Amino acid sequence: MGDANSSGQYGAARGPWMTPARARELAATAADLYRQLHEADLARDADPDPARRRAGWRLDVAAGGLQSAAEELLDTADELIRLAARRADACPMPWGACPEHGATLRSTGGRCWRTTPGCLRRWQHNRLGEPCAEPVTHRVVDADGEGIDLCDGHAADARVHLIGARVIPLS
């Protein structure tokens, strides 16, 4: 285990640390083990020995942990797919924004929503915690002359928060 060649079956020497397919494969394995533990937990209820029934109380806890692990692995696969699908001309900001209103997002539990009254945009993933995937539409030049190309949402936010910045639409 400690030799130079033991980086693991899916170690860094063999490519990415995780792929969507591998995450889904691991999720299926966790889900299968969850079902086995859940069935064992149900069967323990029929055991005539009360001490044995009590001894198996952890089966339900372990099964629940595996169910959570399977869900997290599926969410990881989805996030990796979104990252791989990012456009070549995507905004370079390392966090997402509302495409219309800018930096007005909130997120919890892997979900994200807008806080501006009247805007009902919602995402079933943590858009705030992922790199921006919107296309570049504006050049923002700060007061020192430094420039960066941004999407509509991040450009709108720059208009409000960068003193002396010029926001120039790209044609």
Tell me the per-residue pLDDT of 9-66, one tens digit each, with 9 for 90 and over.
444 445 578 888 999 999 999 999 999 999 999 999 899 999 998 998 899 899 999 9
* 166-169 vs 147-150, strand pairing mode: unpaired
Rounded-to-10 torsion of CA 29, 32, 34, 35: 180
What is the number of alpha carbons within 13 Å of residue 66 lying toward its C-beta? 18
| Phi and psi torsions of 148, nearest 5° | -150, 145
- For the cut 80, the answer to whether the pLDDT of residue 84 exceeds it is yes
Closest CA to 130 of 95, 102, 88: 95
Q: Look at residue 76 in the predicted model and tell me its pLDDT.
A: 86
- Residues 73, 85: contact at Cβ < 8 Å? no
CA pair distance 75, 68, nearest whole angstrom: 11
Q: What is the pTM of this model?
A: 0.60
